Amino acid sequence: MHKFLLLLVFLVFVSCSDGAMKRLTPAAEEPSGSGEEVNDGNIENPETPDDAVIPPNENGGQDEVQDEEKPITDDENPENPDEEEKPVNDDSDTQVPDEENPDNDSETSVSDGDTEQENPDDVWSGCGVEFSGANCIASSCETVDDCCGADLCVATDGCGGRKVCRNAFFKENFDSYVAGKFPNEGPWTLKYAGSSKSYQMVTSERYVSAENSMHLLGSKKYNNSAIMTAVLPEVPNVINVEMKMNTQGDNVYFALCTFNGSGQWGNYDMKVEFADGKIRYQIPEWSAYEIAPSYEPNEWYKIRLKLDQVNKTVSVWVNDELKVDNQIHNFDSLPIPNICLSSDKNDKKVWFDDIFVWGE
């Protein structure tokens, strides 16, 4: 009995071992067979090893290969998540610009649009032409050197304060006259002799544009002002006067003034003066308004006055800085005015240079 049980256990053991071997044999043969298929494929296609060895690249490496050789498409590799995600990311970055401008020129289009809206007909060549009332871009400038022959580079309300090139209908720099004399041969008339006529003269002692300026000296002793005038050839509704001034001290000015023909007495319609240590304007003569709280003697100042006779406003610039901006005043319209230059009754020398008058 004991031997029979041992024999039965032995037979069961042998039977189980045979079954296990049969089950293990196909599993061992399958990887061997698949390895042979890969090797056979490489042998049959020796010229295309890259297709077999390049794995998917999560960083986009496989896409770059596809762009160059195109061996794989989405149909051949539908389970590659990288190829499905990357086009979505690319489209999200450029989706809106591509719809509006497939050539990716959206930034250029915006820039061009701004220029065209400002003034599509004007293309600034780098040499500004005279402002005509609408050509703000073509006539724009930073300094008068940009104006290529025009007289001035000044701000104008017609272009929103942009500087544009202008020509003056009256201008004077005193450089065509002989130094040491009053410019009798020009448009100027000496109305009041001040200290004496010999002190009212063109001089090369100080100037802005080479090589002369106009010198005036009033007299405190004789209670006499030095005043010279020039009649303007026209009176536009908006009149601008600009000039350079250099003074030893108070009681000097320039003005738009009106004289009564044969007589010397006149009216000052608008005056810019150096007085009481300040720069002021007067309109009418007995009402003074501060422009600058102080000034330095013996230094050149560029003063610009604008008188708008339609809107009844005054604007004043000092050294190209706007100090008075369209201040409203109730004043009478100008008749044919004069430019007046003066050193009042205070024994103070003053020099004038580079005078320009223009309209808007």
Residue 333, pLDDT score: 75
Is there a single domain that holds both residue 254 and residue 187? yes
Residues 340 and 300 in one domain: yes
Q: Is residue 16 part of a domain?
A: no
Q: Which pLDDT value is given to residue 117?
A: 45
**Worst-scoring range by mean pLDDT, 1-15, 80-94, 165-179, 258-272?**
80-94
Say whether both 141 and 190 belong to one domain: no
Give domain status of residue 333, yes or no. yes
Does one domain contain both 159 and 176? no
pLDDT grade for 12, boundaries at 50, 70 and 90: low
Same domain, 255 and 303: yes
Is the pLDDT higher at 331 or at 358? 358
Q: Which domain does 206 fall in, by range? A: 170-359
pLDDT at 323 > cutoff 90: yes
pLDDT of residue 161: 85
- Same domain flag for 174 and 129: no
- Residue 144 resides in a domain: yes
185 shares its domain with 290? yes
* Same domain? 161 vs 90: no
pLDDT digits (tens, 9 = 90+) for 22-51: 444 444 444 444 444 434 444 344 343 344
pLDDT value at 354 more than 80: yes
Would the CA dihedral through 87, 93, 97, 102 be positive or negative?
A: negative
Band (pLDDT 50/70/90 cuts) for residue 134 is confident
Q: Which residue has the higher pLDDT, 62 or 285?
A: 285
Q: What is the pLDDT of residue 201?
A: 97
With the C-alpha atoms ordered 165, 167, 172, 176, is the resulting torsion angle positive or negative?
positive
pTM over 0.95: no
Q: In terms of pLDDT, which residue wins out, 34 or 126? A: 126
101-122 per-residue burial string, b: 16 or more CB within 10 A, e: under 16:
eeeeeeeeeeeeeeeeeebeeb
Which position has the token pair 């077999």?
Answer: 52
More confident residue, 188 or 128: 188
Share of the chain above pLDDT 90, in %: 48
Q: Do residues 322 and 178 both lie within one domain? A: yes
| 266: confidence class by pLDDT, cuts 50, 70, 90 | low
Does the pLDDT value for residue 75 go beyond 50?
A: no
Is residue 66 domain-resident? yes
Domain boundary among 137, 166, 195: 166
Q: Residue 172: what residue type?
A: E
Task: Give every CB contact of residue 138 below 8 A, 6+ residues apart in sequence.
Answer: 119, 122, 123, 124, 125, 128, 129
Query: Is 314 within 8 Å of 203 (Cβ atoms)?
Result: no
Counting residues of the chain whose pLDDT is more than 70, the rounded percentage is: 62
Number of structural domains, the chain? 3
Mean pLDDT of 298-312: 95
CATH number at residue 249: 2.60.120.200
Q: Is residue 266 in some structural domain? A: yes
Tell me the DSSP string of 124-149. Answer: --SSPPBP-SS-TTTTB-SSGGGGTT
Query: Do residues 214 and 321 both lie within one domain?
Result: yes
Q: Tell which phi-psi region holds residue 42, choosing left (phi > 0), alpha (psi between -120 and 50) or beta.
A: alpha
pLDDT at residue number 2: 58
C-alpha–C-alpha distance, residues 52 and 83, integer Å? 18
> Are both 129 and 99 inside the same structural domain?
no
- pLDDT at residue 60 greater than cutoff 50: no
Residue 35 belongs to a domain: no
Residue 348 lies in a domain: yes
Tell me, yes or no, whether 29 lies in a domain: no
Q: Which of 209, 198, 137 is nearest to 171 (CA)?
A: 209
Tell me: do 85 and 151 sit in the same domain: no
